[in-house]
Structure 1
Amino acid sequence: MRRALVLTSEASRHWFRASLPQRRTAFADIPANGTIDWRLTAEDVRGVASTYFATVAAVFAFII
C-alpha cells in the first residue's frame, strides 16, 4: 500500500493540528504597510554586550 507524501485535501489534516489556532494571528502586530523600525536601541547593545561577556567568562572558566 503506497500513500502520497502530500495531502490532496486540507480536510484530511491531523486532528491536533486542525485544533491549533491559525499562524496568521502571531503576526498581527506587524504593520500592514510593511515598514518595520530597525533602529538599534540601548537595550539591544546591552543585550549583545552582556551575552558577549557571559560567553567570554564561560570560556575562561573552562580553560582555567
Structure 2
Amino acid sequence: MRRALVLSSEAARHWFRASLPQRRAAFADLPASRTVDWRLTRDDVRGVATTYFATLAAVFAFIV
C-alpha cells in the first residue's frame, strides 16, 4: 500500500494541533503598529557585569 507524503485533507491533522486555537485569533487583540523599546539601561549593564564577575570569581575559586 502506497501512502502520499503530503496529506491534502485538513481532517487528517494531528489531534493536538487541531485542538489548539487559530494563530490569528490569539494575536487579534494586539495593535498593528506596536513599537518595541530595546534601550539598554544602567541597571541592565550593572546586572550583566555583576553576573559576569560573580561567575568569574566562582570559577576561579574552584580552580584554586
Structure 1 length normalisation: TM-score? 0.52
| Alignment correspondent of 1:41 | 41
- What percentage of aligned pairs have identical amino acids? 72
Q: How far is 1:23 from its partner?
A: 4.6
CA drift of 1:22 comes to: 4.1
Gapped runs of 5+ residues in structure 1? Answer: none
Q: Tell me by how many angstroms 1:2 deviates.
A: 4.2
1:15: Cα distance to partner? 0.6
Pairs aligned (count): 61
The equivalent of 2:13 in structure 1 is 13
CA distance in 2, matches of 1:43, 1:7: 52
- Whether 1:61 and 2:61 are equivalent positions in the alignment is yes
1:37 is displaced (CA, Å) by 1.0
Unaligned runs of 5+ in 2: none
